[in-house]
Amino acid sequence: MNWLIFIEIIYPIVLVLVSFRIIYDTRSSAKTLAYLLFVIFVPLFGMIFYFLVGINYRKRKLYSKKLIEDGHLAQKIVVDVIAYSKKTLEQNNSIIQQNKELAYLLIQDNLSALTAGNEVKLLINGEHKFPEVIAALKAAQHHIHIEYYIYEDDKIGNEVAEILIQKAKEGIAVRFIYDDFGSYAIRKKMVARMKAEGVEVFPFHKITFIALANRMNYRNHRKIIVIDGKTAFVGGINISDKYINNTTYPKKLFWRDTHLRIDGPGIYYLQYLFFCAWNFCAKDNLQPDSSFFPEISSFKGNGNKLVQIAASGPDSGRPTILYSLLQAISLAKEEVLITTPYFIPGESIKDVLLVAALGGVSVKLLVPGISDSVLVNSAAHSYYSDLLKAGVEIYLYKKGFIHAKTLVTDKNMSIVGTANMDYRSFDLNFEVNAIVYDHEIAKELANVFYSDIKDAEKIDGNNWEVRPLYKQLVERTARLISPLL
């Protein structure tokens, strides 16, 4: 009885303290309310859940992205990046005119240079990505940098690993960061084998039972490969057999995804992101020099694409990727084409899509008809009614699972990357998107979108509104907890 009385006195005090912590620590008002309701109405477990996944690391940056210790040199780099970007804007004014506000946003908020003279190749699915990756890895002469969310111990995973090992034996510096949660399959045997053969391998934010509470929620969802400081790959395709749709890699489900190969100065920011993560994971002090960031004049080829990188995560002061998507959609004049596997947009993305559609812009959204998360899919469905009423066209992909994260506006600007349209990508995980300001790439990606919707079912707005009430109730309930998904 004494213990019961003690608990009855202590628990309300703890609840009040945790509630204050949530209010002070959580940036999003929707998430704040969701966590408060959870800890109040789900005794004890709600508090445990909050401390497992709810701590806001954006206010306590997980690591510093400061690479240059010399303050004067760092300031000079800032000035040079801004000057170079403004010059690129002036020299390519006709191409980027409609999206210059987006370019300025990323320069100011992310210090992400607007780069010219890039070659960009669109890679559809693993069967197109991996031959390009393998050829580029084999041609490496100085270094290979790899940072991946999911790396599987399967056929393609072992094929890539063997190349990394061979390049390390040749004296090429091979540095590999894997997410300790997403790449759990390689943590023992494959990682040990690569280390033994000379590949430098480190987990991102290693998960241990002691550290579980602070680390489960802040994962490195990026997929980055940088080779010799001149070639890079970025997009939605992890290293796994399931992304390859051919008889050599048999599987049950067709997997649709999109990736980019970039050759040119557009890879600088991807290299910078890798450096930051590497120094954090390896406790290293790898410093940038011309072998990692070659002079722009050293790039050979006929590249004419403008490229900029948007990145954000718990290490950034603001949700830059969210801001860049809002800006890109708001700048569209005729058409917005969005593909995303997880659509829990929150009020800001939902509202900008509504404004665009009501303003006469053709807005089309392609999402999975076959989903790997019933709860996330239900939460996504709760947003469809408002969008359909405003004239947004929503398509459910039926051929398999669509995992691509792309956006095209007015066939002159494209975004391909790792970020989904959900709270997790905007606020919790380390993400990266590549923005390409170019008519050819935009038209090519738009054609891919229109090809994809041939394998999709368009939602009929009238039928959607008369769905069974129990389904609507489940979806609305899922939406209430969507900030926690």
- Mind telling me the catalytic residues? 221, 223, 228, 403, 405, 410
Encoding tokens for residue 453? 């919707």
Phi, psi angles (nearest 5°) of residue 143:
-155, 155
| Cα–Cα dist 373/386, whole Å | 22
Say if residues 271 and 232 touch (Cβ distance below 8 Å): yes
- Ramachandran quadrant class, 8 (left: phi over 0; alpha: psi -120 to 50; beta: rest): alpha
